[in-house]
Amino acid sequence: MLVFLAIWFILGGLDALFRLKTNHLKNRIAKIEDDWKLTEPLMNEREALMQQKQELSDFLVFIGEHLQKGMLYSKKLSELSRIIPREIWLRELSLKTETKDVQKTFFLEVKASIGYLKNDEDMLRKINEFVERLKNDKPFFKDFDSLSLSAIQKQAQVQRIMDFQLTLPLKQGE
């Protein structure tokens, strides 16, 4: 009986020791999980920033290549101002990038408006004339692959104004 009691105390002591160890490990796991919850958003933000850094780096390399080729954007803007009719005004110019099948394409996006002509047909004709002038102007168009006209839309608040968008993909490294 004494042996049985000794074994019972030993097993009880081992059980208490294992429970104590288990609780200690559960507390450590809970603390690690809490710490992970705090750092996870920071890690996600870091990954997003690293991706943006890489995209900007690629963009800067591309711009550097075009600047080395002699494409001066101030000159392009000057040429654009020479070509643009007075009925059309620019709302936004931006250099953007698009990735399709691992191929990056850079393009100039021009958002513009036309207005205060007699009717819609006159505005559409003037837009078309402007697009043709851009395409046929060799000094301006030499750095672009093509030109597409999109998003022609009449403004809802002002009936005599139309907005439109031009997309000019830049020629890739030659």
132 — pLDDT class (breaks 50, 70, 90): very high
3 state SS of 160 = coil
pLDDT tens sequence across 70-97: 555 677 788 888 888 888 888 888 877 7
> How far apart are the two ends of the chain, measured CA to CA in Å?
96
Pair 170, 154: CB distance under 8 Å: no
pLDDT tens sequence across 144-154: 888 888 878 87
Phi, psi torsion values for 9, nearest 5 degrees:
-65, -40
Give the domain ranges of the chain: 1-70, 72-169
Pair 153, 91: CB distance under 8 Å: no
151-157 — which CB contacts under 8 Å span 24+ positions? 152/124, 152/127, 154/120, 155/113
Indicate if the pLDDT at residue 174 is higher than 60. Answer: no
As a whole number, mean pLDDT of residues 17-32 equals 89
The pLDDT value given to residue 108: 83
156 — pLDDT class (breaks 50, 70, 90): low
Angle made by CA atoms 162, 163, 165, in degrees to the nearest 5: 140
Q: How far apart are CA 63 and CA 60, in angstroms?
A: 5
- CATH class (in words) of the domain with range 72-169: alpha beta
pLDDT tens sequence across 96-118: 777 777 777 778 888 988 887 77
User: b or e along 149-159 (b: 16 or more beta carbons within 10 Å of the residue's beta carbon)?
Assistant: eeeeeeeeeee
> Does the pTM exceed 0.85?
no
